[in-house]
Structure 1
């Protein structure tokens, strides 16, 4: 807006300008107006179809549907497809196809068209079964019904077989009928409802066999059944037969024949011999030897067949009896019996037996009291002398006619015999030698006045009533490694403790108990220790298997002087120990042991081979020195000397530690070298081993 003011300061009138709508005028000429007509729609539809067809052609895949047989018709039941010659134009996706062909089962499948531009999808139709008929006939061409028809072992029925439905393929046709040879043939079944007729000729499985005999009229016995009388022809199936031809008054003729199917034949006539007479021979007593005409025939009772019409010399003999002779004649098919009593050859034999009321048995027959003179036949016979509570005496005795003979017997009581049968020395399966001991009552432990005594050595009266075996030596490395091959006893001061005859050390009580059970198993003995999941959980006190000695057994064996007394030390009563008493902590160990036995030198550092030092009064080695030893008992406190005597004690029923008895190479004090010394532990040590024991079995 422009400010229109004059210089004089007076206002002029303002002009307002108003806008208006403006449209340009149309150009000069004719105006066009479009109106749709019916043919416009036809054109639009045509264009749409053409466009759709073009899109289908551009996006469809060329699919070849290959069907066997080639004559099968194909129908796309679900989905759009255009057939172009042998191929179809189909877009990606799933289609339902239906196939059909004469002689085949119809088939419906699902076709998945992928993204490949050209695809081939093969399909095969299953042919319908073929119609198979089978007829059978014999070699003459005559109809032969009732044969069993099978294809590959599947039973189709009996002939004649009409129009059996069989899937196409190659089969083995099998035809079977009684008295005819089995028939087999490979056949090809075409299928597709094609009719096939098969004719089978069956060959006979028999032959006609002729039989004859001289004289005629004999029974023909085939495999135990009488089938005819000679002469005759018999129809026999192929195979082997046992043939017997028999006629009364004649010996039976017997042979084996083999019949081949279809091969008829006449067997040679059989000449029958007159039948033997039958003689049954018995003797008193029995078991006599029999010869007839100088030929040995067996022992009585005996049945023999003898040719008729002639004399036969029969001889019977048995040791201790006179020989008997008889003559006999028989007729054809005659049965006779001959009984012969044999005369015994006897000799008087005097029986002298203790105790005086013992009984005498000859060949199991009671003859009265044993002290008598009895006539015995001159043959070996069983002589027994018995009495209750005594072990029976038995022998095979032969009397000698013309000689004065006597049998003297002193019966042993059962207990005496049992004791005599006991072995005083046995050898284990691992090679240990064990001696049998009959211990006596003694007092374990030591008195309070005894030098070196410890508080756990309480005096106890013990009666060992069970005899027991105890090994002469501790178990060696060689013996223990038969149970545990990987065992090693280690070294000491660069010297081996692992030589074969050194005692096995570095073993726990559990190791020693398991070794004892293993050794029992080698000799089929009842194991002493009860083992569960590899650990000892108890023991069977009645078992006869190997075990560790009890503490009482060990101490008795170490101290017993052989004259019903005991000593303080395994070697006796002397202190210090005499030379060669054992392997102790001596002068040779002074460089690594603090306490040693002064003035004693056994020359061995660590363990020595077992048995190198003197045995004790019981013949046992290393009961002092070399190694301390595990014993069976749990370690526990013991009460003071009481009036109650302990019998065969086995120690506490449970505990944490086990008792250790005896001294070893590391011990040199009077406390440790005494036989009553007691120690305990649960760990393995290089101065601790064990020896084995077992009860005397009943």
Structure 2
């Protein structure tokens, strides 16, 4: 296509493109030509007004609530102060909301209040008017009586125009010496006037008093009211009357008075007053009789009938009896002081030690060795000397007899010894016997049959007395310390019966039991315990403990005053044991033991109840036989007999094992049955128990 040819996108020119637009004048539209012309009609206006009123009335009637004001008393005037409230008969038509009302009635207080009308179609409001007060006049036959109304004092009679609220009131009229009057009165109110007349009655009676002689003072209830003859007004009730006249005895009486019932008492004859005598004696506390009747001890005041002679007698143990005659006048006061003559006797006192001192009735009299003059009455004689127990005795000397008092004082140490109990019982029921040991040789000679190497002879000196339990500790006693403990069984034979000795316990368990028992009795603990383990002991403690090996040996082997004569076996010097002597390895135990005593049968396969067999000469049971026993000592190599004497030995200070002494139901050999036999262990066994001990003096 050549450039001279027209494009297909070009529009052809309009033929009118060159026409010219010519302007013209604009004229606005005249709207006045379209207005509607209205002229109001009176008829139409009236109809419209009626329709509006009808609509409003219909709306009010449909929306209004019917309200009834129930006002009491009947006949009350009710005014609802609202221009929109319409009253129809007894009811009002009102819209919901608040309205002021005014209610009134004759004799009642006016009420001006507000009510709130809710959405309910018909509503009733209760209104109760309050009565106006009334007036009360109160008169009484006795002027100036106090008037109380409802407990409040109003004034004195006569009273008028007392304004009171309508209703019941409590009226009381009171006057001193008159009976009060109380009455309930109903006040009608409405400002009406009511009257109450009260008659007060006397609350007393006239009582006449006359005495011979006259002129006596009359006192009623502590207040003097006049002299006889006397006519007095006494109020109703009980009265204590006292009539007194100088030099005469007082007359007293309790009178019961009834109001308005007069009394005239008979003539009262007043008796002459007794005389008053003050009696004293040297010494004091002497007994006194008046005309043979006992009166008391000096110092003493006596009243005596006047105008006649009376006999006074003074007496006191150790003194001569004294008599005096006395006479007094009416209302006279006399004083009589007498001295009693002592009755003495001689008593020779001989005292030991020679430097002892004498005290009689607490008074120091010098050396006790003297002859003293004592009253013929009970005297407290005391003789004292340093380091000795004082002697005190009530002594009665006998006049005319030669008397002598011989006294030997006991030293404090001897008194302490005398007061020591030979037997004590622990709080767990164990009896312990006191032993006074001495010097002896512990162990066995090398030549003794059955002797072991650990039984070396040792010189022992026991200087402290000690208590040792008569029996081994039983299962029942140990279970009070450890309720869970069991002594076990052997070959189906129980070792845990209550009366059997406790076994299967370690040495430490036995020591802890001793401490527990000391705690029960407030004693110092013998064993020192740390973290539940015994670490050492306190030899100076008097608490419970295990016996030392030496104490055990003395108790078991020394049975006479000669400590060199020691038992070899529990029963004597040679085998076999006598029948029924103790519980050893016998024929009854042959089924469970390898070695037993031939021809001996104690009838117990294992342990027997404690004290089943006779005690030894010292009174202890089962020191040989039944169960072997833990003692306090650690086990160690014994010191050979020599010049060194062991005084109160407690054994080695430490060790791995503890000593076990005595034979048991499982022992039947010569070695084991000997009392010098020494065993040791650090474990519990079914044939090892223990007994307890205490040192008398630490």
Q: Shorter chain as normaliser: what TM range?
A: 0.5 to 0.7
Give per-residue Cα distances to partners, 1:509-528, cap 9 Å, x unaligned.
Answer: 599459736974xxxx6686
Equivalent residue, structure 1, for 2:618 = 618
Report the Cα offset of residue 274 of structure 1.
1.0
Q: 294-303 or 370-379, which moves further after superposition?
A: 294-303
Note closer, same or farther for the CA distance 1:282–1:147 as it changes in structure 2 (3 Å cut). Answer: farther
What is the rounded CA distance, in whole Å, between the counterparts of 1:149 and 1:542 in structure 2? 90
Report the Cα offset of residue 408 of structure 1.
0.6
Q: Could you tell me whether the CA contact under 8 Å between 1:220 and 1:245 is conserved in 2?
A: yes
Report the Cα offset of residue 364 of structure 1.
2.3
Report the Cα offset of residue 316 of structure 1.
2.2
Of 295, 298, 308 in structure 1, the residue corresponding to residue 296 of structure 2 is 298
Tell me whether 1:324 sits opposite 2:322 in the alignment: yes
Aligned with 1:356: secondary structure? Answer: coil
Report the Cα offset of residue 374 of structure 1.
1.7
What is the rounded CA distance, in whole Å, between the counterparts of 2:676 and 2:548 in structure 1? 14
What is the rounded CA distance, in whole Å, between the counterparts of 1:506 and 1:129 in structure 2? 103
Aligned with 1:615: secondary structure? Answer: coil
Give per-residue Cα distances to partners, 1:428-465, cap 9 Å, x unaligned.
Answer: 677643322234578999999995678xx999999866
Equivalent residue, structure 2, for 1:588 = 588
Give per-residue Cα distances to partners, 1:569-594, cap 9 Å, x unaligned.
Answer: 7838968784456323444223234x
Report the Cα offset of residue 249 of structure 1.
0.8
Equivalent residue, structure 2, for 1:402 = 400
Of 284, 288, 299 in structure 1, the residue corresponding to residue 286 of structure 2 is 288
Q: 664-673 or 172-181, which moves further after superposition?
A: 172-181
TM-score by length of 1: 0.63
Aligned with 1:391: secondary structure? Answer: coil
Report the Cα offset of residue 218 of structure 1.
2.1
Larger Rg: 2
What is the rounded CA distance, in whole Å, between the counterparts of 1:571 and 1:370 in structure 2? 55
Report the Cα offset of residue 383 of structure 1.
1.8
Q: Could you tell me whether the CA contact under 8 Å between 2:606 and 2:666 is conserved in 1?
A: no
Give per-residue Cα distances to partners, 1:337-364, cap 9 Å, x unaligned.
Answer: 2222222222222111111222222222
Report the Cα offset of residue 325 of structure 1.
2.3
Equivalent residue, structure 1, for 2:552 = 555
Equivalent residue, structure 2, for 1:516 = 517
Size of the alignment, in residue pairs? 611
Q: Could you tell me whether the CA contact under 8 Å between 1:133 and 1:196 is conserved in 2?
A: yes
RMSD: 6.7
What is the rounded CA distance, in whole Å, between the counterparts of 1:100 and 1:258 in structure 2? 66
Equivalent residue, structure 2, for 1:278 = 276
Equivalent residue, structure 2, for 1:418 = 416
Report the Cα offset of residue 550 of structure 1.
5.0
Note closer, same or farther for the CA distance 1:129–1:502 as it changes in structure 2 (3 Å cut). Answer: farther
Note closer, same or farther for the CA distance 1:231–1:254 as it changes in structure 2 (3 Å cut). Answer: same
Equivalent residue, structure 1, for 2:605 = 605
What is the rounded CA distance, in whole Å, between the counterparts of 1:606 and 1:690 in structure 2? 16
Equivalent residue, structure 1, for 2:384 = 386
What is the rounded CA distance, in whole Å, between the counterparts of 1:183 and 1:649 in structure 2? 101
Q: Give the gaps of 5 or more residues in structure 2.
A: 1-44, 81-89, 92-96
Report the Cα offset of residue 407 of structure 1.
0.7
Note closer, same or farther for the CA distance 1:570–1:675 as it changes in structure 2 (3 Å cut). Answer: farther
Give per-residue Cα distances to partners, 1:104-139, cap 9 Å, x unaligned.
Answer: 9999999999xxxxxxx999999999989999987x
What is the rounded CA distance, in whole Å, between the counterparts of 2:165 and 2:427 in structure 1? 77
Q: Could you tell me whether the CA contact under 8 Å between 1:240 and 1:258 is conserved in 2?
A: yes
Tell me whether 1:571 sits opposite 2:580 in the alignment: no
Equivalent residue, structure 2, for 1:333 = 331
Q: Could you tell me whether the CA contact under 8 Å between 1:505 and 1:689 is conserved in 2?
A: yes
Aligned with 2:146: secondary structure? Answer: coil
Equivalent residue, structure 2, for 1:26 = none
Q: Could you tell me whether the CA contact under 8 Å between 2:451 and 2:677 is conserved in 1?
A: no
Report the Cα offset of residue 309 of structure 1.
1.9
Aligned with 1:278: secondary structure? Answer: strand
Note closer, same or farther for the CA distance 1:176–1:416 as it changes in structure 2 (3 Å cut). Answer: farther
Of 350, 357, 360 in structure 1, the residue corresponding to residue 358 of structure 2 is 360
Q: Could you tell me whether the CA contact under 8 Å between 1:358 and 1:385 is conserved in 2?
A: yes
Equivalent residue, structure 1, for 2:145 = 144
Report the Cα offset of residue 205 of structure 1.
6.5
Equivalent residue, structure 1, for 2:349 = 351
Report the Cα offset of residue 336 of structure 1.
1.5
What is the rounded CA distance, in whole Å, between the counterparts of 2:200 and 2:653 in structure 1? 92
Give per-residue Cα distances to partners, 1:261-288, cap 9 Å, x unaligned.
Answer: 6655344342111112212222222333
Equivalent residue, structure 2, for 1:213 = 211
Q: Could you tell me whether the CA contact under 8 Å between 2:501 and 2:609 is conserved in 1?
A: yes
Q: Could you tell me whether the CA contact under 8 Å between 1:625 and 1:665 is conserved in 2?
A: yes
Note closer, same or farther for the CA distance 1:585–1:310 as it changes in structure 2 (3 Å cut). Answer: same
